[in-house]
Amino acid sequence: MRSRRSRPALRRGPLAAALLAGLLAPALAADGPARIGTVDTTFRLVGRNDRIVVDRYDDPRVDGVSCYVSRAETGGISGSLGLATDPSRFSIACRATGPVTIKEGRLPANEIVFGEKASPFFKEIRVSRLYDQEKRVLVYLVWSTLNLAAGGSAFNSVTAVPLDTR
């Protein structure tokens, strides 16, 4: 008779795999950026080149608005392994790509709508949506979470999309 401790690892494997798949499924199903393209900027002998990437983000709460963010990515060995901190240099352009309609209810005055890691630890590039009620304009601001006191920067970029053209 076998004791419970001597059960083969194969019986636990499928359960662990199913549990892991269940935890990862929501993250994989979430709408992320669509990579539009890349441009190599600096040749690196080892690892991938430094580059500028352009990603499209569709506003999850506003139909008909797409934001295009360009940003620098560090190459070399550390960049290829995901260990480099990308520079805080980026640009944003949001456009009406169809009829602009708010999906549900009212928009908050200030909301973070997109975010993407830019370093293995703390730095993230974020896009906030601000709502100018008086002019009925959505203002999108791209910025970095890296602390200014820790050597970060105040680089940012802004763009606007009117809700209607009355």
Domains held by the chain: number: 1
Residue 81 resides in a domain: yes
Residue 10 lies in a domain: no
Tens digits of per-residue pLDDT, 17-35? Answer: 333 333 333 333 346 789 9
Q: What is the DSSP letter of 149?
A: G
pLDDT of residue 15: 36
Indicate if the pLDDT at residue 163 is higher than 60: yes
Residue 27 within any structural domain of the chain: no
Indicate whether 13 belongs to any domain: no
Per the domain annotation, does 22 fall within a domain?
Answer: no
pLDDT in tens, 91-128: 999 999 999 999 888 888 899 898 776 555 556 788 99
Which has the minimum average pLDDT: 18-32, 66-80, 114-128, 136-150? 18-32
Contacts of 25 (CB under 8 A, 6+ apart): none
Q: For residue 26, is it within any domain?
A: no
Q: Band the pLDDT of 85: cuts 50, 70, 90.
A: low
Is position 125 within any domain? yes
Q: Work out the mean pLDDT of the chain and round it to a whole number.
A: 76
Domain carrying residue 154: 33-162
Query: pTM for the whole thing?
Result: 0.69
Task: Tell me what pLDDT residue 27 has.
Answer: 35
- Per-residue DSSP letters for 20-84? HHHHHHHHHHS---EEEEEEEEE--SSSBPEEEEEEEEE-SSEEEEEEEEEEEE--HHHHHTT-S
Is 105 part of a structural domain of the chain?
yes
